[in-house]
Amino acid sequence: MTELQPKISFQHVSKKFGDGLKSFIALNDLSLDIADGEIITVVGPSGCGKSTAMNIVAGLIDASAGQCRVSGNSVKGPGPDRGVIFQQYALFPWLTVLKNVEFGLKLQGMGREERRKRALHYLELVGLKEFADAYPKTLSGGMKQRCAIARAYAVDPSVLLMDEPFGALDALTRVKLQDQLLETWAKDKRTVMFITHDVDEAVYIAHRVVVLAARPGRLQEIIDVDLPFPRNEEIRLSREFAAIRNRVWRAVYDQ
Amino acid sequence: MSIAVDDDLTERSKENLLRPERFLWGILSFACGIGLWWLATVSGLSVLPSPWTVLMRMIELAFSGQLWLDMFASLRRVLIGFLFGSLIAVPVGFLMGWYRIARAVIDPWIQFFRVIPPLAIIPLAIVTLGIDEKPKIFVIFLAAFLSSVVATYQGVISVDRTFINAARVLGANDRVIFARVIIPASTPFILVGFRIGLGSAWATVVAAELIAAQSGLGFRMQQAQLYYDLPTIFVSLIAIGILGLIMDRIVVRAEQRLTHWQERVYHD
């Protein structure tokens, strides 16, 4: 059964940077399965290897030991089946918003008209359709990140990898984008691996929170978030939410 | 002094607001300078020719065609040398930025030649290339090449890693990354290199003509110096300044056109 096969699977994954005395173990023997359609958030102090883990799934760096599989296939370099959203937005400033979203579609060899239609569809989804012809420099941080999200969605990845995507945004914008992410997830049930340093955010959007420990980066604890979907403000302010948040907080800071 | 990052709209309106005012101040400043010059000459404080004499000589040289011929000769050298220099510099710079080995092999040469003023090459160039156009164009080529090549490879190596990663995760291979990320991202650097290159090419041509030439603005000044012909020296200097300014403005315009997408920081 395909249902039993995890979407993302870390099997004893380690990553060492550098050689000899200067070497540094970013990630030590991480094993973790993420189910299809699951939202996993990863939290931990700096140096816990959370970005390293994500970059290994993305195929941007290779594991030193162990194996990472996505949909059962061992990861060998980046691919459009895994959409990545970076903290620094990483929009190409020399392209308009529309052309940014079309970038990946163009690489797939999609025709002009279809590309444009599809890009506009996703821009509409994130509320940026009127800004299609604007350049990124004219957008606010939140709008830039929404554009980056549209760009990642446009190529229709089965996995979304998000590296502190809302970290640079103000609290209100952040909450709005969290809700938007969950709304979109409710429709397509994509697997999401979401890295954050914000414990509230980690609990609010996740099925499970993965807590990593630092030096060397390793798995500390996996905490189930036993809260119903759709999540809303009521849940965010509930006692159950607070209890889970406190547990995650302790796991992160009392290591 | 305040620093503000503007978006597209305010940027444009701000420039429009500033332009006529700044232009007026510029005119006023020049007028004052010429006024001081005139005062210095009529009061006998200076042996320089008066602005009037210089203007008369300029008209004279313009009507005889001499001025245009000299300007044409200098410009021709600059443009040929600059064009070849920068056209070769861009691919070499990309090569150095993209391949570590190319950088390791080429960089020492560039660093070495960069510290030799192009003018110091002239004696060698004259001896080996003869006294016609070749040595002059060669030193200009060298001046333009060195500044553009350094700018280009600086541009390539300073491309933000996240742009490359973003392209890779969207399915881009090395060829696509080079064409769609490296080239546009380094364009601002390359254009700055062109601007510096054009400036040093222009500085070099005049100096090269002072040493060895039968035409050009530098040659004209050198001739005038022999006959103590100060007005002609002034006319040549002014022509050099104006041509240099015009060329610089053209590059700046091109830069604004090609890199309008950049976030700019204004210092007021």
Q: Please tell me the distance in Å from B13's CA to the nearest CA on chain A.
A: 15
Residue A80 has pLDDT above 60, yes or no: yes
- Choose the closest CB to A78 out of B163, B169, B261: B169
Alpha-carbon distance values, B50 to A72, B59, B175, B222, B229 (Å): 86, 14, 61, 20, 13
Taking the Cβ of residue B230 and every Cβ of chain A, the question of whether any pair is shorter than 8 Å is answered with no
DSSP reduced 3-state for B3:
strand
**pLDDT tens by residue, chain B, 268 residues:** 333 344 444 444 455 556 778 889 989 998 999 999 899 888 888 788 889 999 999 999 999 999 999 999 999 999 999 999 999 999 999 999 888 899 999 999 999 988 888 888 888 888 898 878 888 899 999 999 998 999 998 999 999 989 999 999 998 999 999 999 999 999 999 999 999 989 889 988 888 888 777 889 999 999 999 999 999 999 999 999 999 999 999 998 988 888 888 877 654 4
- Chain B residues with CB inside 8 Å of A145's CB? none
The whole-number pLDDT of residue A237 equals: 92
Question: B162 — phi, psi (to 5°)?
Answer: -65, -30
State phi, psi for B102 to the nearest 5 degrees.
-60, -40
Res B80: pLDDT: 94
The per-residue pLDDT for B10 is 43
**Given an 8 Å threshold on Cβ–Cβ distance, is B8 in contact with A136?**
no
Q: Which of A2-16, A29-43, A220-234 has the lowest mean pLDDT?
A: A2-16
DSSP character at residue A89: -
Q: Would an 8 Å CB–CB cutoff place B180 in contact with chain A? A: yes
As for the ipTM of the complex, it is 0.87
User: A155 and chain B: CB distance < 8 Å anywhere?
Assistant: yes
Q: Across the strands, what pairs with A67?
A: A11
Contact B7 A137 (CB under 8 A): yes
CB atoms B261 and A108 under 8 Å: no
Q: Which amino acid is present at B3?
A: I
Cβ neighbours of A134 in B, within 8 Å: 8
Amino acid (one-letter) located at B79? L
Q: What residues of chain A lie within 8 A of the CB of B187, using their CB? A: 94
Supply the pLDDT for residue A21: 78
Put simply, the answer to whether A84 touches B165 (Cβ < 8 Å) is yes
Nearest to B171 among A92, A108, A138 (CB): A108
Nearest CA in chain A to B187: A94
| Pick from B163, B260, B262: CB nearest A90 | B163
Answer for the pair B187, B256: CB distance below 8 angstroms, yes or no.
Answer: no
Interface membership of A135 toward B (CB under 8 Å): yes
Q: Are strands A82-85 and A159-163 parallel, antiparallel or unpaired?
A: parallel
Looking at chain A, the number of H-run helices and the number of E-run strands are 8, 10
A94/B167 touch (CB, cutoff 8 Å), yes or no: no
Alpha-carbon gap: A16 to the closest alpha carbon of chain B (Å): 20
How far apart (Å, rounded) are the C-alpha atoms in residues B67 and A136? 48
pLDDT at A33: 93
Q: What is the DSSP letter of B46?
A: -
Considering only CB atoms, B162 lies closest to which of A77, A90, A136, namely A90
Report the CATH number of the B49-261 domain.
1.10.3720.10
Phi, psi of A15 (to 5 degrees): -140, 125
Residues of A in contact with B168 (CB under 8 A): 59-60, 77-78
End-to-end CA distance of chain B: 6
To the nearest whole angstrom, how far is the Cα of B77 from the nearest Cα of chain A?
A: 34
Whether residues A104 and B171 touch (CB distance < 8 A) is answered with yes
Whether residue A3 is predicted with pLDDT greater than 60 in this model: the reply is: no
Whether residue A150 is predicted with pLDDT greater than 70 in this model: the reply is: yes
Burial class of residue B239 in the structure, from the number of CB atoms within 10 Å of its CB (0-12 exposed, 13-18 middle, 19+ buried): buried
The DSSP annotation for B210-254 comes to: HHS-SSSHHHHHHHHHHTT-HHHHHHHHHHHHHHHHHHHHHHHHH
Task: Provide the number of CB pairs (under 8 Å) joining chain A to chain B.
Answer: 74
